[in-house]
Amino acid sequence: MALVPYDDRDGWIWFDGKLVPWRDAKLHVLTHAIHYASAVFEGERAYGGKVFKLREHSQRLIDSARILGFDIPYTVEQIDAATMETVAANGAPDCYVRPIAWRGSEMMGVSAQQSKIHLAIATWAWGNYFADKEKGIRLTWAKYARPAPNTAPTASKAAGLYMICTISKHEAEAQGYADALMLDWRGQIAEATGANVFMAIDGVLHTPKPDCFLDGITRRSVIALAKNRQIQVVERAIWPDELARAQEVFLTGTAAEVTPVAEIGEHKFTPGAITAALMDDFGKATRGEIDVKL
Protein backbone atom coordinates (compact mmCIF):
# COMPACT_ATOMS: atom_id res chain seq x y z
CA MET A 1 0.00 0.00 0.00
CA ALA A 2 1.39 3.39 -1.03
CA LEU A 3 2.49 5.67 1.79
CA VAL A 4 0.39 8.83 2.06
CA PRO A 5 2.60 11.51 3.67
CA TYR A 6 0.99 13.46 6.47
CA ASP A 7 2.01 16.80 4.93
CA ASP A 8 0.25 16.08 1.63
CA ARG A 9 -3.39 15.36 2.41
CA ASP A 10 -6.75 16.98 1.90
CA GLY A 11 -8.60 18.46 4.84
CA TRP A 12 -8.31 21.13 7.51
CA ILE A 13 -6.07 21.72 10.50
CA TRP A 14 -6.92 24.14 13.28
CA PHE A 15 -3.82 26.35 13.58
CA ASP A 16 -3.48 29.21 16.07
CA GLY A 17 -7.14 30.09 16.18
CA LYS A 18 -8.48 29.22 12.74
CA LEU A 19 -8.91 26.36 10.31
CA VAL A 20 -6.34 26.36 7.51
CA PRO A 21 -6.01 24.04 4.50
CA TRP A 22 -4.10 20.90 5.52
CA ARG A 23 -1.07 21.55 3.31
CA ASP A 24 -0.70 25.12 4.61
CA ALA A 25 -0.12 24.11 8.24
CA LYS A 26 3.66 24.59 8.24
CA LEU A 27 6.55 25.47 10.56
CA HIS A 28 9.90 27.16 10.04
CA VAL A 29 12.98 24.92 10.23
CA LEU A 30 14.27 26.98 13.19
CA THR A 31 11.21 26.34 15.33
CA HIS A 32 12.38 25.80 18.91
CA ALA A 33 10.28 22.67 19.37
CA ILE A 34 12.12 20.86 16.55
CA HIS A 35 15.52 21.47 18.11
CA TYR A 36 14.77 21.28 21.84
CA ALA A 37 11.57 19.18 22.07
CA SER A 38 9.62 22.04 23.64
CA ALA A 39 6.28 20.56 22.66
CA VAL A 40 3.41 18.72 24.31
CA PHE A 41 0.61 16.81 22.64
CA GLU A 42 -2.44 14.64 23.14
CA GLY A 43 -3.79 11.55 21.43
CA GLU A 44 -7.59 11.38 21.28
CA ARG A 45 -10.26 9.49 19.38
CA ALA A 46 -13.67 10.57 18.17
CA TYR A 47 -16.43 7.99 17.97
CA GLY A 48 -19.54 9.01 16.08
CA GLY A 49 -18.35 12.61 16.07
CA LYS A 50 -17.80 12.79 19.83
CA VAL A 51 -14.28 12.79 21.31
CA PHE A 52 -13.94 10.34 24.19
CA LYS A 53 -13.00 12.18 27.40
CA LEU A 54 -12.30 15.39 25.49
CA ARG A 55 -12.32 17.63 28.57
CA GLU A 56 -9.75 15.45 30.34
CA HIS A 57 -7.48 15.47 27.29
CA SER A 58 -7.68 19.24 26.85
CA GLN A 59 -6.92 19.79 30.52
CA ARG A 60 -3.95 17.43 30.40
CA LEU A 61 -2.58 19.29 27.39
CA ILE A 62 -2.61 22.52 29.39
CA ASP A 63 -1.13 20.80 32.44
CA SER A 64 1.64 19.21 30.36
CA ALA A 65 2.62 22.59 28.92
CA ARG A 66 2.81 24.14 32.37
CA ILE A 67 5.09 21.34 33.53
CA LEU A 68 7.37 22.25 30.61
CA GLY A 69 7.23 25.89 31.65
CA PHE A 70 4.83 27.52 29.21
CA ASP A 71 1.16 28.45 29.08
CA ILE A 72 -1.05 27.59 26.13
CA PRO A 73 -2.97 30.79 25.21
CA TYR A 74 -6.35 29.03 25.11
CA THR A 75 -8.69 27.77 27.79
CA VAL A 76 -9.91 24.20 28.14
CA GLU A 77 -13.27 25.29 26.75
CA GLN A 78 -11.65 26.92 23.73
CA ILE A 79 -9.54 23.85 23.02
CA ASP A 80 -12.63 21.64 23.32
CA ALA A 81 -14.50 23.83 20.85
CA ALA A 82 -11.57 23.96 18.42
CA THR A 83 -11.28 20.19 18.55
CA MET A 84 -14.94 19.66 17.69
CA GLU A 85 -14.70 22.28 14.93
CA THR A 86 -11.81 20.34 13.39
CA VAL A 87 -13.57 16.97 13.65
CA ALA A 88 -16.62 18.43 11.91
CA ALA A 89 -14.58 20.20 9.21
CA ASN A 90 -12.80 17.01 8.18
CA GLY A 91 -16.05 15.07 7.90
CA ALA A 92 -14.85 11.84 9.57
CA PRO A 93 -16.93 11.20 12.72
CA ASP A 94 -14.68 8.25 13.67
CA CYS A 95 -11.16 9.58 13.73
CA TYR A 96 -7.92 10.11 15.60
CA VAL A 97 -7.33 13.59 17.04
CA ARG A 98 -3.89 15.15 17.58
CA PRO A 99 -3.62 18.48 19.43
CA ILE A 100 -0.07 19.78 19.83
CA ALA A 101 1.35 22.92 21.45
CA TRP A 102 4.91 24.14 20.99
CA ARG A 103 7.44 26.96 21.27
CA GLY A 104 7.92 28.86 18.02
CA SER A 105 10.87 30.34 16.12
CA GLU A 106 11.33 33.71 17.86
CA MET A 107 14.36 32.48 19.83
CA MET A 108 16.94 29.78 19.12
CA GLY A 109 18.91 28.30 21.99
CA VAL A 110 18.27 26.34 25.14
CA SER A 111 16.54 29.38 26.62
CA ALA A 112 13.50 30.54 24.68
CA GLN A 113 11.50 32.55 27.22
CA GLN A 114 10.02 34.93 24.65
CA SER A 115 8.99 32.38 22.06
CA LYS A 116 5.40 32.45 20.89
CA ILE A 117 3.32 29.45 21.96
CA HIS A 118 1.40 27.80 19.14
CA LEU A 119 -1.46 25.32 19.14
CA ALA A 120 -2.62 23.09 16.31
CA ILE A 121 -5.25 20.34 16.10
CA ALA A 122 -5.43 17.74 13.33
CA THR A 123 -7.80 14.82 12.79
CA TRP A 124 -7.63 11.86 10.44
CA ALA A 125 -9.27 8.50 9.91
CA TRP A 126 -7.37 5.75 11.73
CA GLY A 127 -8.49 2.22 12.46
CA ASN A 128 -6.80 -0.33 14.71
CA TYR A 129 -3.36 0.69 15.96
CA PHE A 130 -2.31 -2.98 15.89
CA ALA A 131 -3.16 -5.39 13.07
CA ASP A 132 -5.24 -8.42 14.11
CA LYS A 133 -5.25 -7.17 17.68
CA GLU A 134 -8.07 -9.54 18.74
CA LYS A 135 -5.64 -12.48 18.46
CA GLY A 136 -3.20 -10.85 20.85
CA ILE A 137 -0.02 -9.03 19.88
CA ARG A 138 3.60 -10.02 20.45
CA LEU A 139 5.92 -7.79 22.48
CA THR A 140 9.65 -7.84 23.07
CA TRP A 141 11.66 -5.93 25.68
CA ALA A 142 12.78 -2.35 25.10
CA LYS A 143 16.45 -1.62 25.64
CA TYR A 144 15.77 1.83 27.09
CA ALA A 145 14.15 2.36 30.49
CA ARG A 146 11.60 4.92 31.53
CA PRO A 147 13.51 7.68 33.39
CA ALA A 148 13.09 8.50 37.06
CA PRO A 149 10.74 11.41 37.82
CA ASN A 150 13.65 13.47 39.15
CA THR A 151 15.42 13.23 35.78
CA ALA A 152 12.59 14.15 33.38
CA PRO A 153 9.09 15.72 33.43
CA THR A 154 7.43 12.30 33.47
CA ALA A 155 3.96 13.61 34.38
CA SER A 156 3.80 15.56 31.12
CA LYS A 157 2.86 14.18 27.71
CA ALA A 158 5.97 15.81 26.34
CA ALA A 159 7.24 15.12 22.84
CA GLY A 160 10.82 14.54 24.01
CA LEU A 161 9.83 11.65 26.27
CA TYR A 162 8.77 9.64 23.21
CA MET A 163 12.21 9.56 21.60
CA ILE A 164 13.09 6.28 23.34
CA CYS A 165 9.65 4.94 22.47
CA THR A 166 10.24 5.43 18.75
CA ILE A 167 13.64 3.76 18.97
CA SER A 168 12.21 0.84 20.93
CA LYS A 169 9.18 0.33 18.67
CA HIS A 170 11.31 0.47 15.53
CA GLU A 171 13.65 -2.18 16.93
CA ALA A 172 10.70 -4.34 17.97
CA GLU A 173 9.11 -4.15 14.53
CA ALA A 174 12.44 -4.98 12.88
CA GLN A 175 12.44 -8.21 14.92
CA GLY A 176 8.86 -9.08 13.93
CA TYR A 177 7.13 -7.86 17.09
CA ALA A 178 4.25 -5.38 17.33
CA ASP A 179 5.70 -3.35 20.20
CA ALA A 180 8.11 -3.33 23.12
CA LEU A 181 7.53 -3.40 26.86
CA MET A 182 9.56 -0.85 28.78
CA LEU A 183 10.95 -1.18 32.28
CA ASP A 184 11.60 1.81 34.52
CA TRP A 185 14.91 2.91 36.01
CA ARG A 186 14.39 0.48 38.90
CA GLY A 187 13.90 -2.51 36.61
CA GLN A 188 10.15 -2.67 37.25
CA ILE A 189 7.56 -3.00 34.48
CA ALA A 190 6.43 0.43 33.28
CA GLU A 191 4.49 0.51 29.99
CA ALA A 192 4.65 -0.24 26.27
CA THR A 193 5.96 2.44 23.92
CA GLY A 194 2.59 4.18 23.74
CA ALA A 195 0.21 2.28 25.99
CA ASN A 196 -0.25 1.21 29.59
CA VAL A 197 -0.16 -2.46 30.58
CA PHE A 198 -2.43 -4.65 32.73
CA MET A 199 -2.14 -8.30 33.76
CA ALA A 200 -4.76 -10.64 35.16
CA ILE A 201 -3.51 -12.98 37.89
CA ASP A 202 -6.09 -15.37 39.34
CA GLY A 203 -8.98 -13.03 38.54
CA VAL A 204 -7.33 -9.86 39.89
CA LEU A 205 -6.06 -7.08 37.62
CA HIS A 206 -2.59 -5.75 38.35
CA THR A 207 -1.08 -2.67 36.72
CA PRO A 208 2.09 -0.66 37.41
CA LYS A 209 1.74 2.43 39.56
CA PRO A 210 2.25 5.43 37.23
CA ASP A 211 4.97 7.18 39.20
CA CYS A 212 7.36 7.67 36.28
CA PHE A 213 5.12 7.43 33.23
CA LEU A 214 1.82 8.88 32.07
CA ASP A 215 -1.33 7.88 33.92
CA GLY A 216 -3.33 7.27 30.76
CA ILE A 217 -6.90 8.46 30.40
CA THR A 218 -7.80 5.14 28.78
CA ARG A 219 -5.96 3.41 31.65
CA ARG A 220 -8.11 5.19 34.22
CA SER A 221 -11.25 4.49 32.20
CA VAL A 222 -10.49 0.77 32.09
CA ILE A 223 -9.81 0.72 35.83
CA ALA A 224 -13.24 2.29 36.38
CA LEU A 225 -14.87 -0.22 34.03
CA ALA A 226 -13.19 -3.13 35.82
CA LYS A 227 -14.39 -1.87 39.20
CA ASN A 228 -17.91 -1.58 37.78
CA ARG A 229 -17.68 -5.32 37.12
CA GLN A 230 -16.45 -5.93 40.66
CA ILE A 231 -13.01 -6.89 39.33
CA GLN A 232 -10.34 -6.02 41.86
CA VAL A 233 -7.62 -3.70 40.50
CA VAL A 234 -4.24 -3.41 42.21
CA GLU A 235 -1.85 -0.60 41.26
CA ARG A 236 1.62 -1.53 42.45
CA ALA A 237 5.25 -2.15 41.59
CA ILE A 238 5.47 -5.16 39.24
CA TRP A 239 8.70 -7.02 38.47
CA PRO A 240 9.29 -8.72 35.10
CA ASP A 241 9.39 -12.24 36.56
CA GLU A 242 5.78 -11.79 37.73
CA LEU A 243 4.65 -12.17 34.14
CA ALA A 244 5.06 -15.91 34.65
CA ARG A 245 2.04 -15.79 37.00
CA ALA A 246 -0.26 -13.90 34.62
CA GLN A 247 -3.02 -15.62 32.67
CA GLU A 248 -3.98 -12.55 30.62
CA VAL A 249 -2.19 -9.35 29.63
CA PHE A 250 -3.53 -6.37 27.70
CA LEU A 251 -2.54 -2.84 26.75
CA THR A 252 -4.64 0.31 27.01
CA GLY A 253 -4.32 3.66 25.26
CA THR A 254 -6.13 6.05 22.95
CA ALA A 255 -4.57 4.43 19.89
CA ALA A 256 -4.43 0.89 21.30
CA GLU A 257 -7.87 1.12 23.00
CA VAL A 258 -7.88 -2.29 24.77
CA THR A 259 -5.48 -4.67 23.01
CA PRO A 260 -4.80 -8.22 24.21
CA VAL A 261 -1.20 -9.44 24.42
CA ALA A 262 -0.25 -12.99 23.43
CA GLU A 263 3.48 -12.84 24.10
CA ILE A 264 6.09 -10.81 25.98
CA GLY A 265 9.54 -12.21 25.45
CA GLU A 266 9.53 -15.78 26.73
CA HIS A 267 6.07 -15.44 28.34
CA LYS A 268 2.88 -16.55 26.54
CA PHE A 269 -0.70 -15.53 27.33
CA THR A 270 -4.17 -16.39 26.10
CA PRO A 271 -6.67 -13.52 25.75
CA GLY A 272 -9.44 -14.48 28.14
CA ALA A 273 -12.72 -13.48 29.72
CA ILE A 274 -11.46 -10.42 31.60
CA THR A 275 -9.80 -8.95 28.53
CA ALA A 276 -12.83 -9.69 26.36
CA ALA A 277 -15.23 -8.13 28.87
CA LEU A 278 -13.18 -4.93 29.18
CA MET A 279 -12.74 -4.66 25.42
CA ASP A 280 -16.52 -4.85 25.09
CA ASP A 281 -17.15 -2.41 27.94
CA PHE A 282 -14.65 0.09 26.58
CA GLY A 283 -16.30 -0.05 23.18
CA LYS A 284 -19.65 0.68 24.80
CA ALA A 285 -18.12 3.53 26.81
CA THR A 286 -16.74 5.19 23.68
CA ARG A 287 -20.22 5.01 22.12
CA GLY A 288 -21.82 6.55 25.21
CA GLU A 289 -23.61 3.35 26.24
CA ILE A 290 -21.68 3.19 29.53
CA ASP A 291 -20.84 6.26 31.58
CA VAL A 292 -17.28 6.18 32.91
CA LYS A 293 -16.46 8.38 35.87
CA LEU A 294 -12.75 9.11 36.31
Residues assigned a catalytic role: 157
Cβ 262 vs Cβ 268: under 8 Å: yes
> In whole angstroms, what is the distance from residue 218 CA to residue 11 CA?
27
Whether the CB-CB separation of 48 and 88 falls below 8 Å is answered with no
User: By CB neighbour count within 10 A (0-12 exposed, 13-18 middle, 19+ buried), where does 20 fall?
Assistant: middle
Q: Which residues of 158-184 are buried (b: 16+ CB within 10 A; e: fewer)?
A: bbbbbebbeebbebbeeeebbbbbbbb
Q: How far is CA 8 from the centre of its chain?
A: 24
Nearest alpha-carbon partner for 194 in 207, 206, 178, 205: 178
Chain centre to alpha carbon of residue 26: 24
Sign of CA dihedral 31, 35, 39, 42: positive
**C-alpha torsion angle, residues 236, 242, 248, 251 (rounded to 10):** 50
DSSP state of 134: G
Return d(Cα 171, Cα 182) in angstroms, integer: 13
Alpha-carbon distance of 200 to 248, in angstroms, equals: 5
Q: CB within 8 A of 111, min separation 6: which ones? A: none
Q: How many Cα atoms sit within 13 Å of 207 on the Cβ side?
A: 24
